[in-house]
Amino acid sequence: MTAIDFYYDFRSPFAYFATRRMGLLLDKGARIRWRPVSVSVLLNLQVDEAPWAEREDPLCPPKRAHFMADIFRLIEYWKIPFAMPSPPIPVCDEAMAIAALLEREGISRSGFHDAVFEAVWQEQEDAADPEVLRACLAAGSHDPALQEAASREGLDLLTAKTRAAYDQGVFGVPTFVVGDDLYFGADRMEMLAARL
């Protein structure tokens, strides 16, 4: 069984798409290890800024337009349930901090992860809303105290995990790492499946 590290952030529609297509890899006998990282921190590390520094949109207008068009092309092509999130650029820092704490406890994926992705990308719920996070934790049968721990230590842990991923070559999500090889994007999953 081949182990694959899957780097994700709940705020990424492309990471969400990857989760909906994971059967491509699981059917080949892959063992997926979900690895939480922050897209914001990755982008800041790339331009030598402090991890949580405020920044402008890193995409130029033509690339932003392509990015948005590509989302809708992919959901139509892959037939993935989707609704534009509210807010339009989701804030998932606390949810990702919880994911980092769960991974530290040996829980790489649970009902929490699926619930957050669905809340953001199907149900148009705000992942920064404490009630939404509580419901997602309940979906994974996790201790609600993780919410308090997220702001206290989870963000530091998420930052450290993101730095470590960046040092290994991860620059965005979704990224799949097998051995020394990195596959970036939900549209590279067929290529990875063929390798498996």
* Domains of the chain and any CATH numbers: 3-195 (3.40.30.10)
- Closest alpha carbon to 9 in 82, 73, 90: 90
Q: How far is CA 106 from CA 99, 102, 191, in A?
A: 11, 6, 29
Give the burial class of 92: count Cβ atoms within 10 A of its Cβ; 0-12 exposed, 13-18 middle, 19 or more buried. buried
114-117 contacts: CB < 8 A, separation 24 or more? 114/19, 114/139, 115/139, 115/140, 116/10, 116/92, 117/10, 117/15, 117/16, 117/19
DSSP 151: I
Predicted TM-score (pTM) of this structure = 0.95
Ranges in the chain, pLDDT < 70? none
**Length of the chain in residues, anyone?**
196
- The confidence score (pLDDT) of residue 168 equals 96
State pLDDT tens for residues 44-98: 999 998 888 888 777 888 998 998 999 999 999 999 999 999 888 899 999 999 9
Q: How far is CA 145 from CA 9, 131, 142, in A?
A: 21, 13, 9
